[in-house]
């Protein structure tokens, strides 16, 4: 009995000391600072020198996930959360190793408060601003938005679009991307309709539209359903228009998707023009008034024919001549976390295993795809990843459930241990009190 009392007392003392030390060393960080730091981490992950260093890339990916959890904690705690300063320093050290300017991160810190157990001493830098995306990088050129999950695949040409729901229909289905193909980046071929191309006068705005929608396409919480087409625009506004921070299942359709991209780019560029959620007919009518011009030297044609001109530019918006569909040119950028399919070459004569610039097929797998021999996707669509997407989604959801279950189990165990220690300690005090009597 005495041994049990000693063990319980020691456990209680250790618990108290641990919490005391954590509260002393913890620093209170704002959500804005953590978001800015995460942006720098995500940018660093896609750098060429980091891609060659597997250990560093893995560390940065872990840092990104940790920052995401801290941002979520800040969202539920009034925009702030406590973190050990050593953990932030570790992230900054990884950024320094990746060649990222850490001074930029520190000087753009919105607010940082150092706390003690009484949370009495505070140091705030209110005159500094959060890192913004109005910058030029070697990877993405001039843009108002630096993508978090895109990489360059030289010699290829991709488009981003909201295509179809999980039942290959435009109406119905669950919110969110159930198949990985509802909102996606893919090669140009696969659509026989005739499109014309609209280009914004400011290439920086055009790039912003493409990068923003490219990131959105990599978020599985964004799916397709025409009757629910406005929910993506509503939900992304709740997370300050950061598509990678959106965790509420929602939907869009092709024209609403493009409209939201234009709206975001205009906000970032300070263009004072109202952008509504247009349909494809509205797009053809309203784009010229929003600063877009139909590109005459590209002409009109199928996506494959547009690609063959070798004149498509990132951020170009293609709209069908009649009511139907729209998409945005991604240039040679694809989702960083996925293996890119080869596509019509945007530059030169194409790439091995893809298409020539004239659209001539040189890939046997594509020929099979054209005959619709595949696990999922639409006739004529190039979805090399389609065979694995449903399986990946299934196991991803199982993994999420296991993570949630383990977290719940550990929380219950923690509550039980703390409760047991408190009860045992009270019993111990009662026994001591009785013995004194």
pLDDT tens-digit series, residues 132-186: 333 344 578 899 999 999 999 988 999 999 999 999 999 988 999 999 999 999 9
**Over the range 46-58, which residues count as b (16 or more CB within 10 Å of their CB) and which as e?**
bbeebeeeeebbe
Q: Which residue has the higher pLDDT, 427 or 210?
A: 210
Tokens for 205?
A: 């705005």
> What pLDDT, on the 0 to 100 scale, is given for residue 377?
36
Q: Which residue has the higher pLDDT, 335 or 53?
A: 335
> What pLDDT, on the 0 to 100 scale, is given for residue 150?
94
Model confidence at 68: pLDDT above 60: yes
> What pLDDT, on the 0 to 100 scale, is given for residue 378?
38
> What pLDDT, on the 0 to 100 scale, is given for residue 394?
62
Q: Which of 265-279, 357-371, 404-418 has the highest mean pLDDT?
A: 265-279
Give me the numbers of helices (H) and strands (E) for the chain, helices first please. Answer: 13, 15
Q: Say how far apart CA 169 and CA 226 lie, in whole Å.
A: 9
Q: Which residue has the higher pLDDT, 416 or 264?
A: 264
pTM of the full structure: 0.52
The stretch 236-245 carries a mean pLDDT of 92
Q: Which residue has the higher pLDDT, 54 or 218?
A: 218
The stretch 24-34 carries a mean pLDDT of 76
> What pLDDT, on the 0 to 100 scale, is given for residue 229?
96
Q: Tens digits of per-residue pLDDT, 93-142?
A: 888 888 876 544 443 343 333 333 333 333 333 333 333 333 344 578 89
Q: Say how far apart CA 209 and CA 224 lie, in whole Å.
A: 19
Task: Give the chain's radius of gyration (CA, Å).
Answer: 26
The stretch 263-284 carries a mean pLDDT of 93
The stretch 376-381 carries a mean pLDDT of 37
Q: Which of 2-6, 91-95, 370-374 has the highest mean pLDDT?
A: 91-95
CA dihedral 98, 101, 107, 112 (to 10 degrees): 10
Q: Which residue has the higher pLDDT, 23 or 239?
A: 239
């Amino acid at each position: 009995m005495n041994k049990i009392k000693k063990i319980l007392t020691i456990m209680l003392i250790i618990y108290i000391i641990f919490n005391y030390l954590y509260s002393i060393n913890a620093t209170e960080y704002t959500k804005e600072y953590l978001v800015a730091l995460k942006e720098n981490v995500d940018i660093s992950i896609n750098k060429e020198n980091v891609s060659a260093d597997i250990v560093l890339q893995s560390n940065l990916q872990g840092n990104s996930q940790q920052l995401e959890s801290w941002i979520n904690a800040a969202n539920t705690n009034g925009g702030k959360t406590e973190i050990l300063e050593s953990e932030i320093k570790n992230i900054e050290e990884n950024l320094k190793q990746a060649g990222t300017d850490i001074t930029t991160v520190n000087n753009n810190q919105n607010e940082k408060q150092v706390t003690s157990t009484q949370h009495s001493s505070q140091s705030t830098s209110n005159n500094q601003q959060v890192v913004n995306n109005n910058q030029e990088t070697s990877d993405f050129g001039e843009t108002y938005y630096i993508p978090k999950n895109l990489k360059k695949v030289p010699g290829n040409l991709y488009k981003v679009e909201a295509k179809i729901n999980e039942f290959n229909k435009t109406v119905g289905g669950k919110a969110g991307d159930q198949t990985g193909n509802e909102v996606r980046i893919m090669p140009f071929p696969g659509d026989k309709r005739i499109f014309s191309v609209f280009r914004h006068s400011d290439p920086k705005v055009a790039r912003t539209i493409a990068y923003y929608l490219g990131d959105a396409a990599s978020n599985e919480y964004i799916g397709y359903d025409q009757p629910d087409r406005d929910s993506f625009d509503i939900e992304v506004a709740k997370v300050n228009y950061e598509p990678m921070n959106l965790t509420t299942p929602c939907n869009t359709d092709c024209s609403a998707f493009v409209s939201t991209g234009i709206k975001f780019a205009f906000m970032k560029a300070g263009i004072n023009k109202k952008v509504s959620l247009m349909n494809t007919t509205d797009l053809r009518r309203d784009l010229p008034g929003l600063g877009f011009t139909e590109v005459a030297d590209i002409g009109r044609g199928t996506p494959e024919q547009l690609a063959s001109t070798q004149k498509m530019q990132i951020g170009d918006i293609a709209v069908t001549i009649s009511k139907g569909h729209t998409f945005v040119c991604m240039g040679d950028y694809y989702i960083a976390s996925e293996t890119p399919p080869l596509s019509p070459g945007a530059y030169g004569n194409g790439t091995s295993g893809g298409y020539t610039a004239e659209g001539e097929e040189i890939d046997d797998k594509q020929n099979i795809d054209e005959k619709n021999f595949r696990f999922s996707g639409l006739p004529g669509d190039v979805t090399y990843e389609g065979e694995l997407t449903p399986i990946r989604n299934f196991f991803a959801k199982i993994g999420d459930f296991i993570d949630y279950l383990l977290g719940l189990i550990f929380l219950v165990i923690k509550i039980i241990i703390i409760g047991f220690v408190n009860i045992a300690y009270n019993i111990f005090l009662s026994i001591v009190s009785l013995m004194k009597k």
